[in-house]
Structure 1
Protein backbone atom coordinates (compact mmCIF):
# COMPACT_ATOMS: atom_id res chain seq x y z
CA UNK A 1 0.00 0.00 0.00
CA UNK A 2 1.07 3.59 -0.57
CA UNK A 3 2.44 5.52 2.42
CA UNK A 4 0.97 8.62 4.04
CA UNK A 5 3.15 11.10 2.13
CA UNK A 6 2.21 9.56 -1.22
CA UNK A 7 -1.52 9.72 -0.42
CA UNK A 8 -1.26 13.29 0.81
CA UNK A 9 0.88 14.61 -2.07
CA UNK A 10 -1.01 12.92 -4.90
CA UNK A 11 -4.42 13.91 -3.51
CA UNK A 12 -3.23 17.49 -2.93
CA UNK A 13 -1.84 17.82 -6.46
CA UNK A 14 -4.79 16.15 -8.21
CA UNK A 15 -7.54 18.00 -6.33
CA UNK A 16 -5.56 21.24 -6.53
CA UNK A 17 -5.46 20.93 -10.31
CA UNK A 18 -9.19 20.14 -10.36
CA UNK A 19 -9.97 23.20 -8.22
CA UNK A 20 -7.74 25.40 -10.40
CA UNK A 21 -9.57 24.16 -13.51
CA UNK A 22 -12.96 25.05 -12.03
CA UNK A 23 -11.59 28.44 -11.00
CA UNK A 24 -10.21 29.11 -14.47
CA UNK A 25 -13.58 28.21 -16.00
CA UNK A 26 -15.22 30.72 -13.60
CA UNK A 27 -17.43 28.05 -12.05
CA UNK A 28 -16.19 29.00 -8.57
CA UNK A 29 -14.36 31.84 -6.83
CA UNK A 30 -10.93 31.71 -5.18
CA UNK A 31 -12.24 31.08 -1.65
CA UNK A 32 -14.35 28.17 -2.85
CA UNK A 33 -11.39 26.76 -4.82
CA UNK A 34 -9.22 26.77 -1.70
CA UNK A 35 -12.00 25.11 0.31
CA UNK A 36 -12.47 22.40 -2.32
CA UNK A 37 -8.72 21.81 -2.42
CA UNK A 38 -8.71 21.34 1.36
CA UNK A 39 -11.65 18.92 1.23
CA UNK A 40 -10.13 16.96 -1.64
CA UNK A 41 -6.87 16.57 0.27
CA UNK A 42 -8.73 15.34 3.35
CA UNK A 43 -10.63 12.92 1.10
CA UNK A 44 -7.26 11.59 -0.03
CA UNK A 45 -6.52 10.57 3.56
CA UNK A 46 -10.05 9.44 4.42
CA UNK A 47 -9.86 5.65 3.85
CA UNK A 48 -6.91 5.40 6.26
CA UNK A 49 -9.01 6.69 9.13
CA UNK A 50 -9.06 3.06 10.33
CA UNK A 51 -5.26 2.79 10.01
CA UNK A 52 -3.24 0.76 12.51
CA UNK A 53 -0.43 3.30 12.12
CA UNK A 54 -0.68 5.71 15.06
CA UNK A 55 1.06 8.56 13.20
CA UNK A 56 -1.35 8.43 10.26
CA UNK A 57 -4.30 8.11 12.60
CA UNK A 58 -3.14 11.09 14.69
CA UNK A 59 -2.82 13.32 11.64
CA UNK A 60 -6.15 12.24 10.13
CA UNK A 61 -8.13 12.59 13.34
CA UNK A 62 -6.51 15.96 14.07
CA UNK A 63 -7.68 17.14 10.66
CA UNK A 64 -11.19 15.84 11.29
CA UNK A 65 -11.26 17.39 14.75
CA UNK A 66 -10.15 20.71 13.29
CA UNK A 67 -12.86 20.42 10.62
CA UNK A 68 -15.46 19.70 13.31
CA UNK A 69 -14.37 22.81 15.21
CA UNK A 70 -14.73 24.92 12.06
CA UNK A 71 -18.21 23.50 11.39
CA UNK A 72 -19.38 24.26 14.94
CA UNK A 73 -17.96 27.79 14.82
CA UNK A 74 -19.58 28.29 11.41
CA UNK A 75 -22.90 27.17 12.85
CA UNK A 76 -22.60 29.40 15.91
CA UNK A 77 -21.77 32.47 13.82
CA UNK A 78 -24.41 31.79 11.13
CA UNK A 79 -27.89 33.21 10.75
CA UNK A 80 -29.24 30.15 12.57
CA UNK A 81 -28.12 31.84 15.78
CA UNK A 82 -28.86 35.55 15.98
CA UNK A 83 -25.99 38.02 15.97
CA UNK A 84 -27.11 39.32 19.35
CA UNK A 85 -26.86 35.85 20.89
CA UNK A 86 -23.43 35.36 19.33
CA UNK A 87 -22.20 38.67 20.75
CA UNK A 88 -23.41 37.63 24.21
CA UNK A 89 -20.95 34.72 24.30
CA UNK A 90 -18.13 35.47 26.71
CA UNK A 91 -14.44 35.12 25.87
CA UNK A 92 -14.21 31.97 27.97
CA UNK A 93 -17.17 30.44 26.10
CA UNK A 94 -15.62 31.29 22.74
CA UNK A 95 -12.38 29.61 23.84
CA UNK A 96 -14.05 26.65 25.55
CA UNK A 97 -16.37 25.77 22.63
CA UNK A 98 -13.68 24.67 20.14
CA UNK A 99 -11.68 23.00 22.93
CA UNK A 100 -14.70 20.92 23.97
CA UNK A 101 -15.42 19.90 20.36
CA UNK A 102 -11.77 18.95 19.81
CA UNK A 103 -11.65 16.96 23.07
CA UNK A 104 -14.83 15.06 22.20
CA UNK A 105 -13.46 14.14 18.77
CA UNK A 106 -10.06 13.06 20.10
CA UNK A 107 -10.90 11.38 23.39
CA UNK A 108 -14.42 10.03 22.80
CA UNK A 109 -15.09 9.58 19.10
CA UNK A 110 -11.61 8.34 18.22
CA UNK A 111 -11.37 5.53 20.86
CA UNK A 112 -14.84 4.29 19.89
CA UNK A 113 -13.90 4.41 16.22
CA UNK A 114 -10.64 2.52 16.80
CA UNK A 115 -12.50 -0.18 18.70
CA UNK A 116 -15.15 -0.89 16.05
CA UNK A 117 -13.01 -0.59 12.90
CA UNK A 118 -10.42 -2.85 11.28
CA UNK A 119 -7.76 -1.58 8.88
CA UNK A 120 -8.74 -2.07 5.25
CA UNK A 121 -12.25 -2.98 6.39
CA UNK A 122 -15.48 -1.04 5.89
CA UNK A 123 -13.78 2.36 5.79
CA UNK A 124 -11.43 1.31 3.01
CA UNK A 125 -14.16 1.07 0.37
CA UNK A 126 -15.99 3.08 -2.27
CA UNK A 127 -19.23 2.90 -0.31
CA UNK A 128 -17.64 4.56 2.74
CA UNK A 129 -16.08 7.30 0.59
CA UNK A 130 -19.47 7.89 -1.07
CA UNK A 131 -21.16 8.02 2.34
CA UNK A 132 -18.78 10.72 3.62
CA UNK A 133 -19.04 12.62 0.33
CA UNK A 134 -22.85 12.76 0.57
CA UNK A 135 -22.60 13.70 4.24
CA UNK A 136 -20.25 16.55 3.29
CA UNK A 137 -22.74 17.76 0.67
CA UNK A 138 -25.49 17.76 3.29
CA UNK A 139 -23.37 19.65 5.84
CA UNK A 140 -22.28 22.37 3.40
CA UNK A 141 -25.84 22.78 2.09
CA UNK A 142 -27.59 22.87 5.45
CA UNK A 143 -25.05 25.12 7.19
CA UNK A 144 -25.11 27.74 4.45
CA UNK A 145 -26.58 31.04 5.68
CA UNK A 146 -28.96 31.07 2.73
CA UNK A 147 -30.08 28.57 0.14
CA UNK A 148 -29.28 29.52 -3.44
CA UNK A 149 -28.23 27.87 -6.67
CA UNK A 150 -24.59 28.74 -5.96
CA UNK A 151 -24.82 27.21 -2.48
CA UNK A 152 -26.17 23.98 -3.95
CA UNK A 153 -23.38 23.91 -6.54
CA UNK A 154 -20.70 24.44 -3.88
CA UNK A 155 -22.29 21.74 -1.70
CA UNK A 156 -22.22 19.17 -4.50
CA UNK A 157 -18.68 20.14 -5.52
CA UNK A 158 -17.56 19.77 -1.90
CA UNK A 159 -18.91 16.24 -1.75
CA UNK A 160 -17.44 15.54 -5.18
CA UNK A 161 -13.95 16.61 -4.12
CA UNK A 162 -14.10 14.45 -1.00
CA UNK A 163 -15.14 11.51 -3.21
CA UNK A 164 -12.38 12.28 -5.74
CA UNK A 165 -9.74 12.35 -3.02
CA UNK A 166 -11.02 9.07 -1.56
CA UNK A 167 -11.01 7.33 -4.95
CA UNK A 168 -7.45 8.53 -5.55
CA UNK A 169 -6.42 7.00 -2.21
CA UNK A 170 -8.05 3.64 -2.96
CA UNK A 171 -6.60 3.56 -6.48
CA UNK A 172 -3.08 4.27 -5.21
CA UNK A 173 -3.33 1.45 -2.67
CA UNK A 174 -4.52 -0.92 -5.38
CA UNK A 175 -1.69 0.10 -7.72
CA UNK A 176 0.84 -0.45 -4.94
CA UNK A 177 -0.50 -4.00 -4.62
CA UNK A 178 1.12 -4.80 -7.96
CA UNK A 179 4.90 -5.28 -7.99
CA UNK A 180 5.72 -4.03 -11.49
CA UNK A 181 9.44 -4.87 -11.22
CA UNK A 182 8.75 -8.58 -10.81
CA UNK A 183 5.30 -8.42 -12.45
CA UNK A 184 3.67 -10.06 -9.46
CA UNK A 185 0.53 -9.36 -7.50
CA UNK A 186 0.73 -8.99 -3.74
CA UNK A 187 -1.70 -10.66 -1.34
CA UNK A 188 -3.23 -7.27 -0.54
CA UNK A 189 -4.51 -6.91 -4.12
CA UNK A 190 -8.29 -6.42 -4.18
CA UNK A 191 -8.54 -5.25 -0.57
CA UNK A 192 -8.25 -1.53 -1.38
CA UNK A 193 -10.47 -0.53 -4.30
CA UNK A 194 -13.57 -2.48 -3.29
CA UNK A 195 -17.24 -1.55 -3.34
CA UNK A 196 -17.84 -2.55 0.29
CA UNK A 197 -16.61 -4.87 3.03
CA UNK A 198 -19.10 -7.71 2.61
CA UNK A 199 -17.53 -9.63 5.49
CA UNK A 200 -19.29 -7.23 7.82
CA UNK A 201 -22.82 -7.51 6.41
CA UNK A 202 -24.59 -5.56 9.15
CA UNK A 203 -22.30 -2.55 8.86
CA UNK A 204 -22.52 -2.68 5.07
CA UNK A 205 -26.31 -2.66 5.30
CA UNK A 206 -26.19 0.39 7.59
CA UNK A 207 -23.94 2.16 5.09
CA UNK A 208 -26.23 1.37 2.17
CA UNK A 209 -29.31 2.61 4.05
CA UNK A 210 -27.44 5.75 5.13
CA UNK A 211 -26.31 6.44 1.57
CA UNK A 212 -29.88 6.04 0.32
CA UNK A 213 -31.21 8.40 3.01
CA UNK A 214 -28.56 11.04 2.33
CA UNK A 215 -29.02 10.81 -1.45
CA UNK A 216 -32.80 11.14 -1.08
CA UNK A 217 -32.56 14.29 1.07
CA UNK A 218 -29.84 16.13 -0.86
CA UNK A 219 -30.75 19.02 -3.17
CA UNK A 220 -31.15 18.33 -6.86
CA UNK A 221 -27.80 18.10 -8.70
CA UNK A 222 -29.31 19.39 -11.99
CA UNK A 223 -27.97 22.93 -11.61
CA UNK A 224 -24.50 21.62 -10.78
CA UNK A 225 -24.54 19.34 -13.82
CA UNK A 226 -25.67 22.20 -16.06
CA UNK A 227 -22.95 24.47 -14.70
CA UNK A 228 -20.21 21.89 -15.21
CA UNK A 229 -21.44 21.28 -18.76
CA UNK A 230 -20.33 24.77 -19.82
CA UNK A 231 -16.56 25.14 -20.24
CA UNK A 232 -16.64 28.04 -22.69
CA UNK A 233 -14.82 30.34 -20.24
CA UNK A 234 -11.98 27.92 -19.53
CA UNK A 235 -8.61 29.57 -20.19
CA UNK A 236 -5.96 26.95 -20.92
CA UNK A 237 -3.25 29.57 -21.57
CA UNK A 238 -2.79 33.35 -21.84
CA UNK A 239 -2.95 32.97 -25.62
CA UNK A 240 -6.41 31.39 -25.49
CA UNK A 241 -7.62 34.34 -23.38
CA UNK A 242 -6.22 36.80 -25.99
CA UNK A 243 -7.92 34.84 -28.78
CA UNK A 244 -11.27 34.91 -27.00
CA UNK A 245 -11.03 38.67 -26.46
CA UNK A 246 -10.63 39.35 -30.19
Structure 2
Protein backbone atom coordinates (compact mmCIF):
# COMPACT_ATOMS: atom_id res chain seq x y z
CA UNK A 1 0.00 0.00 0.00
CA UNK A 2 1.10 3.59 -0.55
CA UNK A 3 2.29 5.46 2.51
CA UNK A 4 0.78 8.63 3.94
CA UNK A 5 3.22 11.00 2.21
CA UNK A 6 2.58 9.38 -1.18
CA UNK A 7 -1.19 9.67 -0.80
CA UNK A 8 -0.94 13.34 0.13
CA UNK A 9 1.50 14.10 -2.70
CA UNK A 10 -0.62 12.39 -5.37
CA UNK A 11 -3.80 13.94 -3.99
CA UNK A 12 -2.15 17.36 -4.08
CA UNK A 13 -1.19 16.94 -7.73
CA UNK A 14 -4.64 15.71 -8.74
CA UNK A 15 -6.36 18.45 -6.72
CA UNK A 16 -4.15 21.17 -8.22
CA UNK A 17 -4.81 19.98 -11.77
CA UNK A 18 -8.53 19.65 -11.18
CA UNK A 19 -8.94 23.02 -9.45
CA UNK A 20 -6.84 24.84 -12.05
CA UNK A 21 -8.72 23.26 -14.95
CA UNK A 22 -12.13 24.12 -13.51
CA UNK A 23 -11.13 27.70 -12.69
CA UNK A 24 -9.42 28.38 -16.04
CA UNK A 25 -12.46 27.22 -18.00
CA UNK A 26 -14.66 29.54 -15.94
CA UNK A 27 -16.82 26.70 -14.63
CA UNK A 28 -16.25 27.94 -11.07
CA UNK A 29 -14.45 30.80 -9.38
CA UNK A 30 -10.88 30.30 -8.21
CA UNK A 31 -11.95 30.25 -4.56
CA UNK A 32 -14.63 27.60 -5.12
CA UNK A 33 -12.23 25.56 -7.25
CA UNK A 34 -9.56 25.62 -4.54
CA UNK A 35 -12.12 24.51 -1.96
CA UNK A 36 -12.93 21.54 -4.17
CA UNK A 37 -9.22 20.74 -4.22
CA UNK A 38 -9.22 20.68 -0.42
CA UNK A 39 -12.20 18.29 -0.45
CA UNK A 40 -10.36 15.99 -2.84
CA UNK A 41 -7.32 15.85 -0.57
CA UNK A 42 -9.58 15.20 2.42
CA UNK A 43 -11.26 12.40 0.49
CA UNK A 44 -7.94 10.64 -0.04
CA UNK A 45 -7.46 10.45 3.73
CA UNK A 46 -10.86 8.90 4.46
CA UNK A 47 -10.07 5.23 3.62
CA UNK A 48 -7.26 5.25 6.20
CA UNK A 49 -9.54 6.39 8.99
CA UNK A 50 -9.37 2.78 10.25
CA UNK A 51 -5.59 2.86 10.83
CA UNK A 52 -5.37 2.74 14.63
CA UNK A 53 -3.54 5.78 15.95
CA UNK A 54 -2.48 6.88 12.46
CA UNK A 55 -2.30 10.49 11.35
CA UNK A 56 -5.29 10.19 8.98
CA UNK A 57 -7.44 8.89 11.83
CA UNK A 58 -6.37 11.64 14.24
CA UNK A 59 -6.85 14.37 11.65
CA UNK A 60 -10.14 13.06 10.37
CA UNK A 61 -11.74 12.57 13.76
CA UNK A 62 -10.60 16.05 14.75
CA UNK A 63 -12.19 17.49 11.59
CA UNK A 64 -15.32 15.36 12.01
CA UNK A 65 -15.64 16.46 15.62
CA UNK A 66 -15.27 20.11 14.61
CA UNK A 67 -17.79 19.81 11.76
CA UNK A 68 -20.28 17.99 13.99
CA UNK A 69 -19.85 20.64 16.70
CA UNK A 70 -20.60 23.41 14.21
CA UNK A 71 -23.69 21.58 12.94
CA UNK A 72 -24.89 20.89 16.49
CA UNK A 73 -24.40 24.52 17.48
CA UNK A 74 -26.21 25.71 14.37
CA UNK A 75 -29.19 23.40 14.92
CA UNK A 76 -29.39 24.31 18.61
CA UNK A 77 -29.30 28.01 17.79
CA UNK A 78 -32.33 27.55 15.54
CA UNK A 79 -34.29 25.86 18.33
CA UNK A 80 -33.16 27.91 21.35
CA UNK A 81 -33.33 31.63 22.02
CA UNK A 82 -31.43 32.11 25.27
CA UNK A 83 -28.52 34.37 24.27
CA UNK A 84 -25.07 34.24 25.82
CA UNK A 85 -23.55 36.97 23.69
CA UNK A 86 -24.22 38.54 20.32
CA UNK A 87 -21.98 38.98 17.29
CA UNK A 88 -23.03 41.02 14.26
CA UNK A 89 -25.88 39.27 12.49
CA UNK A 90 -26.00 36.22 14.76
CA UNK A 91 -26.92 35.25 18.31
CA UNK A 92 -24.91 32.55 20.04
CA UNK A 93 -26.77 30.88 22.90
CA UNK A 94 -25.53 29.04 25.96
CA UNK A 95 -27.23 25.91 24.69
CA UNK A 96 -25.51 26.16 21.32
CA UNK A 97 -22.05 26.43 22.86
CA UNK A 98 -22.74 23.57 25.26
CA UNK A 99 -24.15 21.35 22.52
CA UNK A 100 -21.22 22.06 20.22
CA UNK A 101 -18.65 21.30 22.90
CA UNK A 102 -20.42 18.13 24.00
CA UNK A 103 -20.69 16.79 20.44
CA UNK A 104 -17.03 17.61 19.77
CA UNK A 105 -15.96 15.82 22.95
CA UNK A 106 -18.03 12.71 22.21
CA UNK A 107 -16.80 12.31 18.63
CA UNK A 108 -13.18 13.20 19.24
CA UNK A 109 -12.61 10.70 22.06
CA UNK A 110 -15.26 8.01 22.84
CA UNK A 111 -16.38 7.67 19.21
CA UNK A 112 -12.81 7.57 17.93
CA UNK A 113 -11.84 4.93 20.49
CA UNK A 114 -14.91 2.80 19.72
CA UNK A 115 -14.19 3.08 16.00
CA UNK A 116 -10.63 1.82 16.57
CA UNK A 117 -11.92 -1.19 18.46
CA UNK A 118 -14.55 -2.14 15.87
CA UNK A 119 -12.61 -1.70 12.63
CA UNK A 120 -9.55 -3.14 10.96
CA UNK A 121 -7.41 -1.64 8.23
CA UNK A 122 -8.49 -2.27 4.63
CA UNK A 123 -11.82 -3.50 5.85
CA UNK A 124 -15.23 -2.00 5.18
CA UNK A 125 -13.81 1.54 5.23
CA UNK A 126 -11.84 0.66 2.09
CA UNK A 127 -14.95 -0.12 0.03
CA UNK A 128 -16.72 1.94 -2.61
CA UNK A 129 -20.04 1.74 -0.77
CA UNK A 130 -18.49 3.57 2.19
CA UNK A 131 -16.94 6.08 -0.20
CA UNK A 132 -20.42 6.75 -1.53
CA UNK A 133 -21.66 7.22 2.03
CA UNK A 134 -19.00 9.86 2.66
CA UNK A 135 -19.89 11.75 -0.50
CA UNK A 136 -23.68 11.61 -0.27
CA UNK A 137 -23.56 12.01 3.50
CA UNK A 138 -21.80 15.32 3.08
CA UNK A 139 -24.34 16.36 0.44
CA UNK A 140 -27.23 15.54 2.76
CA UNK A 141 -25.74 17.42 5.71
CA UNK A 142 -24.74 20.34 3.51
CA UNK A 143 -28.18 20.73 1.97
CA UNK A 144 -29.83 20.49 5.39
CA UNK A 145 -27.48 22.61 7.51
CA UNK A 146 -25.43 24.92 5.28
CA UNK A 147 -26.45 28.05 3.44
CA UNK A 148 -24.35 27.25 0.36
CA UNK A 149 -25.71 26.80 -3.14
CA UNK A 150 -26.91 23.26 -3.94
CA UNK A 151 -24.42 23.02 -6.83
CA UNK A 152 -21.55 23.81 -4.46
CA UNK A 153 -22.64 21.11 -2.00
CA UNK A 154 -23.08 18.49 -4.73
CA UNK A 155 -19.66 19.25 -6.20
CA UNK A 156 -18.04 18.99 -2.79
CA UNK A 157 -19.65 15.60 -2.16
CA UNK A 158 -18.65 14.35 -5.61
CA UNK A 159 -15.07 15.57 -5.13
CA UNK A 160 -14.91 13.91 -1.71
CA UNK A 161 -15.80 10.60 -3.34
CA UNK A 162 -13.29 11.23 -6.13
CA UNK A 163 -10.52 11.68 -3.57
CA UNK A 164 -11.64 8.48 -1.85
CA UNK A 165 -11.42 6.66 -5.19
CA UNK A 166 -7.94 8.07 -5.89
CA UNK A 167 -6.75 6.57 -2.61
CA UNK A 168 -8.13 3.12 -3.42
CA UNK A 169 -6.69 3.09 -6.94
CA UNK A 170 -3.28 4.18 -5.65
CA UNK A 171 -3.26 1.42 -3.03
CA UNK A 172 -4.10 -1.16 -5.69
CA UNK A 173 -1.34 0.18 -7.93
CA UNK A 174 1.13 -0.37 -5.09
CA UNK A 175 -0.06 -3.98 -4.84
CA UNK A 176 1.66 -4.72 -8.15
CA UNK A 177 5.44 -5.24 -7.94
CA UNK A 178 6.61 -4.16 -11.40
CA UNK A 179 10.30 -4.89 -10.75
CA UNK A 180 9.73 -8.51 -9.77
CA UNK A 181 6.74 -8.93 -12.11
CA UNK A 182 4.45 -10.23 -9.41
CA UNK A 183 1.23 -9.33 -7.69
CA UNK A 184 1.39 -8.92 -3.92
CA UNK A 185 -0.95 -10.70 -1.53
CA UNK A 186 -2.63 -7.38 -0.73
CA UNK A 187 -3.95 -7.06 -4.31
CA UNK A 188 -7.73 -6.73 -4.36
CA UNK A 189 -8.04 -5.68 -0.73
CA UNK A 190 -8.07 -1.94 -1.42
CA UNK A 191 -10.44 -1.36 -4.33
CA UNK A 192 -13.66 -3.26 -3.72
CA UNK A 193 -17.38 -2.55 -3.70
CA UNK A 194 -18.14 -4.32 -0.41
CA UNK A 195 -16.19 -6.04 2.35
CA UNK A 196 -16.83 -9.78 1.82
CA UNK A 197 -15.47 -10.64 5.27
CA UNK A 198 -18.03 -8.35 6.92
CA UNK A 199 -21.35 -9.05 5.13
CA UNK A 200 -23.55 -7.55 7.85
CA UNK A 201 -21.66 -4.27 7.81
CA UNK A 202 -21.64 -4.24 4.01
CA UNK A 203 -25.42 -4.74 3.91
CA UNK A 204 -25.99 -1.99 6.47
CA UNK A 205 -23.71 0.41 4.56
CA UNK A 206 -25.51 -0.40 1.31
CA UNK A 207 -28.91 0.18 2.95
CA UNK A 208 -27.71 3.51 4.33
CA UNK A 209 -26.42 4.50 0.90
CA UNK A 210 -29.74 3.63 -0.74
CA UNK A 211 -31.52 5.60 1.97
CA UNK A 212 -29.46 8.68 1.14
CA UNK A 213 -30.18 8.24 -2.56
CA UNK A 214 -33.89 8.12 -1.71
CA UNK A 215 -33.79 11.16 0.56
CA UNK A 216 -31.67 13.46 -1.60
CA UNK A 217 -33.32 15.61 -4.27
CA UNK A 218 -32.50 15.12 -7.94
CA UNK A 219 -29.26 17.06 -8.62
CA UNK A 220 -30.54 19.30 -11.44
CA UNK A 221 -27.83 21.90 -10.88
CA UNK A 222 -25.06 19.30 -10.94
CA UNK A 223 -26.35 17.65 -14.13
CA UNK A 224 -26.55 21.03 -15.87
CA UNK A 225 -23.04 21.93 -14.68
CA UNK A 226 -21.60 18.65 -15.94
CA UNK A 227 -23.42 19.07 -19.27
CA UNK A 228 -21.91 22.53 -19.67
CA UNK A 229 -18.48 21.09 -18.91
CA UNK A 230 -18.90 18.42 -21.59
CA UNK A 231 -19.88 21.10 -24.08
CA UNK A 232 -16.77 23.14 -23.25
CA UNK A 233 -14.52 20.10 -23.69
CA UNK A 234 -16.23 19.21 -26.94
Deviations 1:167-224 (A, max 9, x none): 0000011001111111111100000001110221111111111111101111212321
Matched, 1:112 2:114: yes
Relative contact order (C-alpha < 8 Å, sep 6+): which is higher? Answer: 1
TM alignment of 1:1-246, pairs within 5 A: 1-72=1-72, 75=75, 80=78, 87=86, 89=92, 98-145=100-147, 151-231=149-229
From the superposition, tell whether residues 56 and 223 of structure 1 become closer, same or farther in structure 2 (CA, over 3 Å). closer
Q: CA deviation at 1:55?
A: 3.5
Deviations 1:26-75 (A, max 9, x none): 33334432332222111100001111353442233223333334444555
Q: CA deviation at 1:131?
A: 1.0
From the superposition, tell whether residues 34 and 70 of structure 1 become closer, same or farther in structure 2 (CA, over 3 Å). farther
From the superposition, tell whether residues 178 and 74 of structure 1 become closer, same or farther in structure 2 (CA, over 3 Å). farther
From the superposition, tell whether residues 110 and 233 of structure 1 become closer, same or farther in structure 2 (CA, over 3 Å). same
Asked whether the equivalents of residues 76 and 96 of structure 2 are also in contact (C-alpha less than 8 Å), the reply is no
From the superposition, tell whether residues 179 and 10 of structure 1 become closer, same or farther in structure 2 (CA, over 3 Å). same
Structure 2: tracts of 5 or more residues without a match:
none
For 2:218 and 2:16, locate their aligned partners in 1 and report how far apart those are by CA, in whole Å.
26
- When the two structures are superposed, what TM-score results if normalisation uses the length of structure 1? 0.80
Asked whether the equivalents of residues 26 and 234 of structure 1 are also in contact (C-alpha less than 8 Å), the reply is no
Pick which of 3-12 and 22-31 moved more. 22-31
From the superposition, tell whether residues 74 and 4 of structure 1 become closer, same or farther in structure 2 (CA, over 3 Å). farther
For 1:81 and 1:23, locate their aligned partners in 2 and report how far apart those are by CA, in whole Å.
39
Pick which of 54-63 and 156-165 moved more. 54-63
Q: CA deviation at 1:98?
A: 4.8
- When the two structures are superposed, what TM-score results if normalisation uses the length of structure 2? 0.84
Number of paired residues?
228
From the superposition, tell whether residues 154 and 53 of structure 1 become closer, same or farther in structure 2 (CA, over 3 Å). same
For 1:221 and 1:115, locate their aligned partners in 2 and report how far apart those are by CA, in whole Å.
37
From the superposition, tell whether residues 95 and 214 of structure 1 become closer, same or farther in structure 2 (CA, over 3 Å). closer
Cα RMSD of the aligned pairs, angstroms, is 2.8
Asked whether the equivalents of residues 129 and 166 of structure 1 are also in contact (C-alpha less than 8 Å), the reply is yes
